[in-house]
A and B are shown apart, each in its own frame.
Chain A
Amino acid sequence: MRSSFPETMEGSPRRVGRAVASMLAEFRGLLMQRLNDVNSTTSREVMGAASSVAAVVERATEHVKRVKEMVGNLEGRNGGGVAAAVHHQADVLRRYFESVSRDIARQEETADRAQQSLQRITKAASDTAHLASAARLLALNARIEAARVGGHGNCFSTIAGEMQHLAEQITQANEFIDSLATRLSEDLPELAASARALRNSSEELTRDLTSATAQVEQETADMRNVIGEMMQQSDREMASLIGSSHEALSHLQFQDVVAQGLLRIEPALHELQIEQAKLQGVEEVIAELPPTQHREIGGDKPVDQDNAGEVLLF
Chain B
Amino acid sequence: MPKKVLVVDDSPTVRQQVSLALKQAGFEVVEATDGADGVSKVGSDPSIGMVILDVNMPRMNGLEMLETIKAGGQNAGLPVIMLTSEGQQSLIDRAKKAGAKGWIVKPFKAELLVAAVKKLLAA
Chain A partners chain B: yes
Check: B17 CB closer than 8 A to any chain A CB.
yes
Q: Are B13 and A311 in contact (CB under 8 A)?
A: no
Q: Which residues of A contact B78 (CB under 8 A)?
A: none
Q: Are A256 and B86 in contact (CB under 8 A)?
A: no
Q: Are A308 and B107 in contact (CB under 8 A)?
A: yes
Q: Which residues of B contact A250 (CB under 8 A)?
A: 17, 107-110
- In the assembled complex, the CB of A148 is this many whole angstroms from the nearest CB of chain B, namely 126
Known: A297-B61, A304-B87. A256 touches B24 (CB 8 A): no
Q: Which residues of B contact A243 (CB under 8 A)?
A: 111
Check: A259 CB closer than 8 A to any chain B CB.
yes
Q: Are A57 and B13 in contact (CB under 8 A)?
A: no
Stretch of A46-54, A165-173, A217-225 that contacts chain B? A46-54
Q: Which residues of A contact B56 (CB under 8 A)?
A: 295-298
Known: A298-B88, A308-B105, A312-B104. A249 touches B17 (CB 8 A): yes
Stretch of B39-47, B68-76, B113-121 that contacts chain A? B113-121
Q: Which residues of A contact B106 (CB under 8 A)?
A: 253, 256-257, 303, 308
Q: How large is the interface on B (under 10, 10 to 19, 20 to 34, 35 or more residues)?
A: 35 or more
Chain A: how many interface residues by the 8 Å CB criterion? 39
DSSP majority for the A interface?
helix
Q: Are A50 and B96 in contact (CB under 8 A)?
A: no
Q: Are A298 and B91 in contact (CB under 8 A)?
A: yes
- In the assembled complex, the CB of B63 is this many whole angstroms from the nearest CB of chain A, namely 7
Q: Which residues of A contact B55 (CB under 8 A)?
A: 297-298
Check: B21 CB closer than 8 A to any chain A CB.
yes
Most B CB within 10 A of own CB, among A247, A260, A311: A311
Q: Are A246 and B14 in contact (CB under 8 A)?
A: no
- In the assembled complex, the CB of A2 is this many whole angstroms from the nearest CB of chain B, namely 32
Q: Are A298 and B86 in contact (CB under 8 A)?
A: yes
Q: Which residues of B contact A43 (CB under 8 A)?
A: 11-13
Check: A255 CB closer than 8 A to any chain B CB.
yes
Check: B36 CB closer than 8 A to any chain A CB.
no
A257 to B16, CA, bound (A): 15
Check: B122 CB closer than 8 A to any chain A CB.
no
Chain A 246-285, CB-CB to B under 8 Å as 1, else 0, gives 1101101111110110000000000000000000000000
A-B contact pairs, 30 of them (CB 8 A): A46-B13, A47-B12, A50-B13, A54-B24, A61-B24, A245-B110, A246-B21, A249-B20, A250-B108, A250-B110, A252-B13, A252-B17, A254-B107, A256-B11, A257-B85, A257-B107, A260-B11, A297-B91, A298-B91, A304-B105, A308-B105, A310-B87, A310-B103, A310-B105, A311-B104, A312-B102, A313-B101, A313-B102, A313-B116, A314-B100
What are the 5 tightest A-B residue pairs by CB atom distance, in nearest-first order? A246-B110, A253-B107, A298-B86, A307-B87, A312-B103
